[in-house]
Each structure stands twice: as C-alpha cells, then as structure tokens.
Structure 1
Amino acid sequence: MSERIKIDEPLWDQNTFVGRFKHFLWMTDPRTCMENEETLNNAKLLVEKYRKGQEPKGTTVEQVIYAKKLYESAFHPDSGELQNVFGRMSFQVPGGMAITGAMLQWYRTPFAVVFWQWVNQSFNALVNYTNRNAKSPTTTTQLAVAYVSATSSAMITALGCKYYWSKRASPFVQRYVPFAAVAAANCVNIPLMRQNEILHGIDCSDDNGRIIGQSRVAAAKGISQVIVSRIVMCAPGMLILPVIMERAEKFRFMQRITFLHGPIQVMAVGCFLTFMVPTACALFPQKCSIKTSTIAWLEPEEYEKMKKNCGDKLPERVYFNKGL
C-alpha cells in the first residue's frame, strides 16, 4: 500500500461541523445494515490487522476504508461488540421513517396514538441502549424500569396532548401531537436508559487517551447533547411534513388516494432523515470534552482523584465518548 490512513481516527476534521457531517453521513449509510455478520466480522478483522500493520499483501486503501466504514457503523466504539442491527445509527433512516410516518398518519384515535408511541419509544430505547457509553454497564432491572418509564411518559404525553388539543385546537394543530410526545419522551428515555452514567460517571481521558478518572458532570453534558440531537433529528420531518400534508390533502387527486397517504408520509420522512441523521449527529463532537475547572467546582472529590492520577500535569480539559 502506497499510503497509510489513521485507522482509529475519522477521515474528516471533527473540529468543524462540515467535517462531522461528512463523517456521520458516511458512517450512518443505511446500506451497511444489509451486510451479513460474516462480512462485518471480516471487516473488523481487517481493521485489527491494519492497526498492527499485518494486513494481507495487496490490500488497497479503498478496501481498508470500506472495512473501517463497516466496523464503525456496526461495532460499539467502547466495547468492540457487534451491535444489534435495529439499534445502529445506520438503521435510523429505514427504522425512523417507517415509525415516524406511521405516527404522523395515524394520530386521530387514542388507540393509534398509544400504539405508535409505544412502538417508537421501544425503538428509541433499543437505539439508546445500543449507543450508550458501554463502559457504564446497566442492570436488567434498571433497563426494565427505564423502558417502562420512558414508554409510559411518551404515551401519557401523547394522550394528554390529544385530549387537551382535541377540544381546543384545530385538526391541523393536532397533527403535532406526535412531535410533542416524542420530544418529551426523549427527555425521559435517554437519561433513564443511560442512568448509570449519571449515577457513577463516565471515563474521562487526557489528551493522550489515558483514562484519569470518572465524572458525572461529563455524563450529564454528553446525555444533554444527545437529547438535543435526537429532537433535532426528528423535528423537520415531524414539523414540516404536517404542513405539506394539510395542504396536499385538499387536492382532489390526494383525496382519491387516501390509502397511499401513509406510504407517502413514510417516504417523505425518509427523505428528511437521510440528511437529518448525520446533521443531528454532527451538532456536537463525538469525542466530547469538559474543563477540569468545571469538575473541580461541581465534583471536588472526582477532581482530587484526577489530580492524584495525573500528578502536577492535570490537563485543562478531559475527553469522553458522549454516545449517540
């Protein structure tokens, strides 16, 4: 091979939004979900060999880059374990478009609201668990409580909005019931599914990647950014599409094909998500950072532990994986 790439670093500059967007557009490519487990494991093996400089003779840069793409899209960055295909960020477009389209189409009855919110939050719970910081393990009991709490909050919010708006709002405004429920549920679902990070902190490292301590404040910052990203991810489709459908349904040809309204919304949401998934993921750096002075102020005990581990060379900032 004529040139070598840095296999453990992104191909684009992660200090800029454009660089992060290109990275996540590449990494969340839904086509990678179609690759079988053998292909994914072979990609991981090639990445590991390349890291040691032991890749097979004749291996091209293009082959290494594609293996890196499959590896980063399918394996957890902390544990290295193969992720459930339905929980991968690369499955957000096909999974999200089907569920979001259904929520926007079938929202008129309480049963439809409850059912699709349950489906959506079950999907979100799986995504949140799959993309958590894997160095903060969660027990089965905690997962069960988090799942029930998150799905319940979504359904209660949706039913509350449905009941309140059905008497006071126009049919058009009622189309926004799904978004209100999703936004509220994300504020509950994500922290609950990643509660151990908040309770016990997440690993923080120095500029050289050496773990020097744990921080609950860092966990709270990372989870807050993920919540914002998830809401932004679904916002355009769930806020703009109701306006489009409200006007489109007034045309005669749309009134003759009511059975296609659901599929049309699914495809439209897919178009939004194709760009919004990488956009939302790129809002904040994956390798998040926090000032050690902030930790000193809010977590003096953890700060002292970091000082002890670093001696007199405590860095100004520490870094951690915020999850997705």
Structure 2
Amino acid sequence: MLTTAGPSASLTCSRSCLLSRSATGASSTMGTRPFLWVWWGSQVPAAAATNPHPAPGRSAEANRCRFPTRAAVVPQAKAMTANLRSLLGAALIFYLVAVVNDAAAMYVLSAVAVAVLLVCFFLTRLTIRGVSFDFAVPVLRGLPGTPMAGAVTVRNAGALRRPGLSFEALLQNHTLPHASIPISYPFPALEPRSITEWHVQWWPPHRGHYTVRHARLVASDPLGIFRRGTRPAEGAGFWVLPKTVDLREAMPLEMLFAMVPSAVGLSQRGGAEFLGVRPHQPGDDLRQVHWKLTAHTGELLVREYRLQPELTITLWL
C-alpha cells in the first residue's frame, strides 16, 4: 500500500511492484540471483519520519545507518552512456553534412542535438540538488534465502518535483566476496519539501557478514543521456547466519542411533562396553540373557555392561 502526502500532493496506490536487480519491472524467481522487491512507501512531513521496524532491544536511531544529510554532487567517472554517444554522433554528422553541402537544415538539426544535450545535462544537475537520504537495516541478523528488509528515507528540500531519481547500493559480503548483492530502486517523482520512506526487501543467497557500500542517489534525465549521483556513502552492516535447530528436531532419534553404532548398545542394553556375565536378577531384561552359557551351566546368566554417562555425537556440516 503506497500513500503519499505533501503540501500539494495526494496519491494512493494499492498495487505492489516487483523489480529485478536491473530495476526494469520484470519479476524474478528466487534463487542464487538476488532481486529487489518494493514493499511499501509513504511520503510524510519531515517531523513525522521515523523507522517503523526497530530491531528488538534496540532503538530505531541505533539501528539506522546514517548517511550525509547533504547531497554533495560529484562527477561520475564512468564511461559515456550509449544514448550520449548516439546523440553526439548525430550532432557531429549533421554538422559535417551542413558544412559540406552548405545546408541550413543540417545546421538546425545539429543545433537541436546540442540543445538537447545541454537541457538534459542541466536537468540532471537540478534533479539531484537539494536531495538527501538515509538507509537503515532494522534487523541486523537474517537467514540465507529468507527476505531481509531495509528502509530508504529520501528528503526533498527543494520547491520542485524531483523525477528520475533512483537509489543504488552494494551489499558486500566479506565472507564470500562473490556473493555481494547490488540493489537498484527507481523512485517515483518526489513532491516538493517532503520526506519519502521506502521499505525494500532482498534475499541474501549466502551466509556471511554484509556491509552497505557505495550507497547513493542517482539522477537521470528522461532520455537516459546523463547520470549524476550523490557522493557514495558507507554504512553499518548485518549478518546472515545459518539456522540453528535442535538436534532432536532435526532428525528422529532412531536415525541418530543408526548413525552411531555404539548408541544401539546404549539404548538396548544400558551400556556400551561388555564386562562379563552375572546371575539373573528380578527385573533384568530377558534380551540380555546369555543363552549359551545358561545352557552349559544350567543357571540363568545375563550379560553385564559398563554404563556410559553420556553419548557423544559428531556432526559434519
């Protein structure tokens, strides 16, 4: 359930969105490839923004991974996007054709291509300016293959709507480096002077210690020509540990005795080490009678064993 409320906005959406790692909107099956699920979100006044899912025994503020409240815009060192290369190539071709053929229309098309580049560039800078965010992981321990939740709080301090924003982060696994989880989540347009809190879920496929790396907000123009992000921030982490189960709940007791041969003697005879024979006494189990010696001596004799105080079982994980 998505509800937004602001000085000049009112929107209600009752349909959840399932996003893949690439944030294309296509659903993905659970497996070794983790994917991101949009849980819910809300836009609330700045004074009412809190974390609704604190971990047991810890306050919401103690579990929050604080990031810079001021979005410091830094240039991106990545290679040019495909759309940027295409538009630059088109502008260059139009200009060369105009110079060779002295065609005024080609000059106009070249100028239009350059104007589109400039508009998209400044639109990207304007979108990211005045925006800050927090990312919190309320529950600091999870299980492999089970969902874990996080909260992304985005603040729009400006007087303009901010479309084209997305949140990107890398959940780095320090135990198994190849099991790191990249997450990407595109936001809808942010209303002016509002705070939006989104709850997302991810499925860690492997156990280990995860930390939040390279978390940032990224702005993009409608044509996808430029990408500009806030300064990457680092945050606290969480643990993904194997499930602990009681040995008696993991398998039937008969299977444990079958795995450990000495346990059979313990369950049936009351001991594991054979000591000798003794005369039969009332209450002795007839299964312990040594029938061969009884036939030779004519007296009912039973086997006697040394009792073991405990049974040691080794499990290989």
Please give the TM-score of this superposition, normalised by the length of structure 1: 0.23
TM-score w.r.t. length of structure 2: 0.23
Indicate the structure whose relative CO is greater, using CA pairs within 8 Å and at least 6 residues apart: 1
Structure having the larger proportion of residues in strand:
2
- Please tell me whether Structure 1 or Structure 2 has the larger radius of gyration of its CA atoms: 2
Q: Which has the higher helix share?
A: 1
